[in-house]
């Protein structure tokens, strides 16, 4: 497919280190794979693609990268277990996750891509990945969406203004030409202002103070729920101390929190029994932390997911946990969107939910939620439910069908 004008500017740069900050659906990963192909087309090069986690690297890049390499008939061997492709010219492309630092050490790289780099720990770049480029005088390409001014992505972006070896680029979703103006306008109706500015306008926003900054006692608290509560939707967080459930009703995209359950020194079996006892006649859907697929908080060897299903609940959770920021942004967008409309309400008897939303803050100078105060558990439970039903990361219909050139 032909490159857009912004993409052409990025790849035409001869800077050793390039930083690309964009809104959603700009084509960052597509551009990164094209750069990987360009560098690996030279013989005997060692090229890495690094994502925040190994699972993300595989999900985001592996299938498309293989397709491109096979299409060009460059492949010599493919190691699926190690996510490595060796080319006929003896260049090697490997995918890695920054969550396993030991797998990143002891190599010399000619080219490195750090995708969604704002979610990679700063120390991984400076202490682990940067040294891999020293002996080879290799280069790096960073791409991702912006985070707050306290995130190291802003620090790296500013390098392009002061360091001759660096060049930085910033483009909105609309400038990427992958998503129509109509689709972006719809996103504006779904999201709150700060989330829209960050995710679509590529704006560095200030992370400080309240995490759920859109919450208002006047707008988001109601005295009671007057509708039909035959169908309940429950978000569940598996911390043993306490284990928390947020009970909601969803009616025409309006979510109302009508009850809360908080049990100390507990396990999944006890929480399930409590839910069954409280709501004997309702149909129940549960949205747990996706770690339920592997996690065991009860004796007997069963995973939390298996226990929930054994109690007869309709269980809905993603294969992998959503990013923390996506859960937070999804909740903030329901509390109040760009137009000022609220579609998330809390009955005033849910004291712990209200207190948690009001009091959880970011760690000073970072975009990391504070978990030391104990206000995170109810918020996490609510976030799993909201993000599952109203995800920030939506599948867009592109402006035209794209294929590799």
Query: So what's the pLDDT on residue 230?
Result: 85
Residue 205 has pLDDT above 50, yes or no: yes
pLDDT tier at 396 (50, 70, 90 boundaries)? very low
SS (HEC) of the chain: CCCCHHHHHHHHCCCCEEEEEECCCCCHHHHHHHHHHHHHCCCCCEEEEEECCHHHHHHHHHHHHHHHHHHCCCEEEEECCCCEEEECCCCEEEEEECCCHHHHCCCCCCEEEEECHHHCCHHHHHHHHHHHHCCCCCEEEEEECCCCCCCHHHHHHHHHHHCCCEEEEEECHHHHCCCCHHHHHHHHHHCCHHHHHHHHCCCCCCCCCECCCCCCHHHHEECCCCCCCCEEEEEEECCCCCEEEEEEEEECCEEEEEEEEEECCCCHHHHHHHHHHHCCCCEEEEEECHHHHCCCCCCCCCCHHHHHHHCCCEECCCCCCCCHHHHHHHHHHHHCCCCCCCCEEEECCCHHHHHHHHHCEECCCCCCECCCCCCHHHHHHHHHHHHHHCCCCCCCCCCCCCCCC
Write the pLDDT tens digit of every residue in 346-361. 999 999 999 999 999 9
pLDDT tier at 207 (50, 70, 90 boundaries)? low
Residue 181 has pLDDT above 80, yes or no: yes
Question: What domains appear along the chain, each with residue ranges and CATH number?
Answer: 5-200 (3.40.50.300), 217-389 (3.30.420.280)
Average pLDDT value for residue range 305-310:
93
Better-scored residue on pLDDT, 178 or 219: 219
Better-scored residue on pLDDT, 181 or 207: 181
> How far is Cα 231 from Cα 357, in angstroms, rounded to an integer?
24
Average pLDDT value for residue range 193-210:
84
pLDDT tier at 298 (50, 70, 90 boundaries)? low
Share of the chain above pLDDT 70, in %: 94
Write the pLDDT tens digit of every residue in 85-99. 999 999 999 999 999
Residue 30, judged by CB atoms within 10 A of its CB (0-12, 13-18, 19+), counts as middle
Would you say the pTM of this structure is higher than 0.85?
no
Find out whether 22 and 159 touch, Cβ atoms under 8 Å: no
Residue 15 has pLDDT above 80, yes or no: yes
pLDDT mean across residues, the chain: 89
Residue 297 has pLDDT above 70, yes or no: no
Write the pLDDT tens digit of every residue in 238-261. 877 899 999 999 999 999 999 999
Write the pLDDT tens digit of every residue in 25-56. 888 888 999 999 999 999 999 999 999 999 89
Query: So what's the pLDDT on residue 366?
Result: 73
pLDDT tier at 394 (50, 70, 90 boundaries)? low
Average pLDDT value for residue range 126-147:
93
């Amino acid at each position: 497919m032909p490159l857009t004008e912004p993409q052409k500017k990025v790849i035409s740069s001869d800077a050793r280190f390039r930083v690309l900050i964009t809104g959603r659906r700009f084509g960052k990963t597509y551009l990164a794979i094209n750069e990987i192909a360009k560098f690996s087309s030279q013989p005997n090069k060692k090229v890495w693609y690094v994502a925040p986690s190994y699972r993300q690297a595989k999900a985001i890049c592996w299938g498309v990268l293989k397709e491109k390499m096979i299409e060009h008939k460059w492949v010599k061997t493919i190691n699926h277990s190690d996510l490595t492709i060796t080319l006929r010219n003896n260049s090697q492309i490997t995918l890695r996750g920054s969550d396993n630092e030991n797998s990143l050490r002891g190599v010399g790289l000619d080219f490195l891509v750090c995708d969604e780099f704002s979610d990679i720990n700063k120390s991984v770049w400076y202490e682990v990945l940067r040294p891999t480029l020293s002996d080879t005088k290799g280069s790096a390409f960073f791409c991702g969406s912006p985070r707050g001014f306290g995130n190291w992505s802003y620090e790296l972006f500013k390098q392009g203004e002061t360091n001759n070896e660096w060049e930085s680029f910033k483009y909105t979703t609309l400038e990427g030409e992958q998503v129509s103006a109509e689709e972006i306008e719809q996103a504006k109706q779904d999201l709150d202002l700060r989330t829209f500015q960050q995710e679509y306008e590529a704006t560095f926003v200030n992370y400080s103070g309240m995490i759920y900054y859109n919450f208002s006692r006047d707008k988001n608290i109601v005295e009671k729920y007057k509708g039909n509560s035959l169908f309940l939707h429950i978000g569940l967080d598996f911390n043993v101390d306490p284990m928390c459930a947020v009970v909601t009703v969803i009616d025409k995209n309006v979510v109302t929190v009508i009850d809360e359950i908080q049990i100390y020194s507990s396990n999944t079996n006890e929480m399930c029994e409590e839910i069954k006892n409280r709501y004997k006649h309702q149909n129940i859907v549960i949205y747990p932390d996706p770690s339920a697929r592997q996690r065991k908080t009860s004796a007997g060897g069963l995973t939390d997911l298996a226990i929930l299903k054994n109690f007869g609940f309709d269980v809905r959770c993603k294969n992998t946990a959503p990013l923390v920021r996506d859960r937070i942004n999804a909740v903030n967008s329901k509390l109040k969107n760009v137009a000022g409309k609220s579609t998330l309400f809390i009955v005033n008897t849910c004291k712990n939910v209200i207190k948690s939303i009001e009091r959880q803050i970011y760690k000073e100078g970072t975009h990391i939620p504070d978990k030391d105060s104990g206000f995170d558990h109810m918020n996490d439970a609510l976030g799993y439910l909201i993000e599952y039903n109203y995800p920030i990361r939506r599948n867009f219909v592109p402006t035209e069908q794209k294929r590799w050139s």
